[in-house]
Amino acid sequence: MMIRKDIILYVLLINVAILLVTSCLKSALTYEGRQVKEENRIVINEGGPHESVWETKNLILNYTYIRKGNNLELSGVVKFSNYLSVGFRYFIDFIMRAHFTNAEGVIIGTQTIAVASIGQEVDNISFKKKIKLPQDAVTMVFSYRGSVSQGRDREDGWLRAVGSAWYFWTSPTR
């Protein structure tokens, strides 16, 4: 059986295109390799427990961490601002991440620390994570993105958001 050269070339070009698209998507969908401003970096000190608060207009994160070498135990509570919890009753989605940077402030790793899914009531979210830090991690920074709605409904067995919605986020590189 003989394979035509044009088919081999076509398959090769498709594989190269897939490789290029996936590598571009990774950099578009993650913050790895991006610089964090020095004033936004939180030094990850050895030992602990270390307690702190990180606050934005959308939420307050009360967190505690213990660092032992490259192992980090990170726990906390995400409390949402009143305008989110009073004006909107349900999450459409929410995800919060901790990003770890090297000494130059470049993001070298990311870990999801808190999530909420569609239909979950807007309320505090507690989390506790054991994280293996990247080798050169010296600081961390937080980010999140989420959306909330006024109501929820079931249609054909699927939960969906109804009423007005609000989208909120913060980037680790701002």
Q: For the segment 26-45, what is each residue's pLDDT rounded down to a tens digit? A: 445 678 989 999 999 999 99
CATH number of 32-170: 2.60.40
Range with the largest mean pLDDT of 19-23, 29-33, 145-149, 170-174: 145-149
Domain boundaries, the chain: 1-30, 32-170
Q: For the segment 135-167, what is each residue's pLDDT rounded down to a tens digit? A: 999 999 999 999 998 887 777 667 777 788 889
The pTM for the full model equals 0.80
Given this model, what pLDDT does residue 24 score? 46
List residues bridging with 146 in a β-sheet.
Answer: 94, 168
**H-only helix segments in 43-142:** 82-87
pLDDT at 103 over 90: yes
Q: Residue 17: CB partners within 8 Å, gap ≥ 6?
A: none
In angstroms, rounded to a whole number, what is the distance separating the alpha carbons of residues 95 and 168?
11
Inter-residue contact 61 to 53 (CB < 8 Å) = yes
Residue 100: CB atoms within 10 Å: 22
**Lowest model confidence (mean pLDDT) among 56-65, 71-80, 98-107, 116-125:** 116-125
